Amino acid sequence: MKFADLHLHTFFSDGTFSPEELAGHGARLGFAAMALTDHDSVEGCARMATACSAAGMEFIPGTELTAELGNTELHLLGYFLDTHNEKFLAEIGRFQTVRQNRILEMVAAINKLGVPLEVESVFALANCKSPGRPHVARALVKAGLVKNLDDAFERFLKKGRPAWVPKTKMSALQGIELIHQTGGLAVMAHPGLNHNDDIIPDLVKAGLDGIECFHTKHSTAMSERYLEIADKYHLLVTGGSDCHGFSKNKPLIGTVKLPYEHVEKMKVAVAGKNVASLNR
Ligand code: AMP
Ligand code: ZN
Ligand code: FE
Ligand code: FE
């Protein structure tokens, strides 16, 4: 059997592995294909493509966008993206700027509480265009200002805590369109973590291509439920570990093994879309 992991993060967003380390883990676990889905970024895709190719694995360039539909936040995975598409890069660049400004706001709020976290220490540790709350948490740990990552989230960073800053999000419809414009497939990430399946029909109407049925945090019952939903709406089935490296306990890569037949179906779908766009 051939398997894939289609949900992975590197240090080009809030993961801790380099693309080469991530590809190394994937190769050791025997994966046939891997996708990189850093938050609002495709910065790591070129290095990941080279590393996967050297290890004899197939690579799918991707990203994970934070979006909203009504009041529900959801994450959209984009696959088979043209990572050089200038319009796409400009658009995700806007959200990278939002992320960078949000770091400034979070650190200012932490400083206001008398905690002397230096903003430079967060950017030095993040060292990428798409920083996020985990980087603030790690910088707090590194400076000895909190006990551990959980302590950082509990005291400052989680929703409702004093340094929580809401993130400007794109609408889900915009996100799906953006992924389509760059030749990709749009997939709803970890629907089981959303607790709101009512949005799925609207996402399908907006052109959603697939749904992440298999995810580390999905129970078997959840995966079965989303497989039924995929069947009902004729959606592609995807899955991945959502590995962030060593940022949370032990690396999650290897916990989800998506049968390769689903990757084949994705390739057929993306080829069909490209043919359709040529004929338009
Ligand atoms: P952001 O995109 O900046 O809002 O950060 C989201 C990231 O923070 C995700 O990777 C989450 O897994 C992580 N995160 C959210 N809440 C917590 C928490 N309570 N403890 C540790 N990590 C968390
Ligand atoms: Zn993340
Ligand atoms: Fe996510
Ligand atoms: Fe993720």
Q: What is the pTM of this model?
A: 0.96
Cα–Cα distance measured from residue 43 to residue 96, given in angstroms and rounded to the nearest whole number = 11
| Residues flanking ion ligand 3, Cβ below 5 Å | 75, 189
Range of weakest confidence among 106-115, 220-229, 248-257: 248-257
- Ligand 3 centroid to residue 280 C-alpha, Å: 33
Atom of ligand 1 nearest to the CA of 39: 2
pLDDT (mean) for 93-115: 97
- Ligand 2 centroid to residue 62 C-alpha, Å: 14
pLDDT surpassing 70 at residue 37? yes
pLDDT surpassing 80 at residue 276? no
pLDDT (mean) for 244-267: 92
Residues of CATH 1.10.150 domain(s) within the chain? 96-157
Q: Is residue 39 within 8 Å of 132, Cβ to Cβ?
A: yes
Residues of CATH 3.20.20.140 domain(s) within the chain? 3-91+171-279
HSE-up of residue 94 (Cα within 13 Å, Cβ side)? 11
Only one residue has tokens 């916990």, namely: 255
Q: Is residue 38 within 8 Å of 10, Cβ to Cβ?
A: yes
Which residue, judged by its Cα, is nearest atom 22 of ligand 1?
134
- Ligand 1 centroid to residue 133 C-alpha, Å: 6
pLDDT surpassing 70 at residue 247? no
Only one residue has tokens 């032990």, namely: 250
240 ligand 1 Cβ < 6 A = no
158 ligand 1 Cβ < 6 A = yes
Q: Which ligand is nearest to the CA of 168?
A: 1
Q: β-strand 3-5 against 33-36: which pairing, if any?
A: parallel
Helices (H) and strands (E) in the chain, counts: 10, 9
CA–CA distances in Å: residue 167 to residues 64, 103, 247: 15, 10, 21
With a pLDDT cut of 90, the percent of the chain lying above it is: 93
Q: Is residue 15 within 8 Å of 9, Cβ to Cβ?
A: yes
Which pLDDT band, with edges at 50, 70 and 90, does 274 fall under? confident
Range of weakest confidence among 41-55, 86-100, 236-250: 236-250
How does 132-158 read in b/e, with b if 16+ C-beta sit within 10 Å?
bbbbbbbbbbeeebbeebeebbebbbe
Candidates 74, 133, 217: which one to mutate for ligand 1, based on the most atoms within 8 Å of Cβ?
Answer: 133
Fold of 3-91+171-279: TIM Barrel (3.20.20)
42 ligand 1 Cβ < 6 A = no
Fold of 96-157: DNA polymerase; domain 1 (1.10.150)
